[in-house]
A = this chain, B = another copy of it.
Amino acid sequence: MSDTPSRTELSALGEFGLIERLASRIHLVQPSSVKGIGDDAAVIDPQGLHQVVTTDMLVEGVHFDLSYAPLKHLGYKAIVVNLSDVYAMNATPRQVIVALALSNRFPVEAVDELYEGMLLACRNYGVDLVGGDTCSSRSGLIIAVTAIGAARPEDIVYRSGAKDNDLLVVSGDLGGAFMGLQILEREKAVYTETGAQPDLAGHDYILERQLKPEARKDIITLLEQMEVKPTAMIDISDGLASEAIHIARNSGLGVRIYDEKLPIDPHTYQTARDFNLDPTTCALNGGEDYELLFTIAQSDYDKIKGNPNLTVVGHMADKNSSYRLVDRQGGEHELTAQGWDAFLKRS
Whether A57 contacts B133 by the Cβ 8 Å rule is yes
A56 interface contact, C-beta 8 A = yes
User: Chain B residues with Cβ under 8 A from A159's Cβ?
Assistant: 38-40
In chain A, positions 21-59 with a C-beta closer than 8 Å to chain B are: 34-35, 38-46, 48-57, 59
A150 to chain B, nearest CB (A): 9
A142-B339 Cα distance, complex, nearest whole Å: 23
- A148: chain B residues at CB < 8 Å are 51, 53
Question: In this assembly, does A7 line the interface, its C-beta being within 8 Å of a C-beta of chain B?
Answer: no
A149 at the interface (CB under 8 A from B): yes
A131 touches B55 (CB 8 A): yes
A6 at the B interface (CB under 8 A): no
Closest to A233 in B: B40
A7 to chain B, nearest CB (A): 14
Which of A16, A34, A160, A339 has the most C-beta atoms of chain B within 10 angstroms of its own C-beta?
Answer: A16
Within the assembled complex, what's the spacing in Å between the Cα atoms of A342 and B133?
11
* A39 and B158 contacting across the interface, CB-CB below 8 Å: yes
* A-B pairs, 6 with minimum CB distance: A41-B54, A144-B144, A136-B347, A46-B46, A40-B88, A41-B52
Q: 14 other contacts beyond A41-B85, A45-B51, A55-B146, with CB at 8 A cut-off?
A: A11-B343, A14-B344, A15-B342, A15-B343, A40-B89, A41-B52, A41-B86, A44-B53, A53-B97, A55-B97, A55-B133, A103-B347, A104-B347, A136-B346
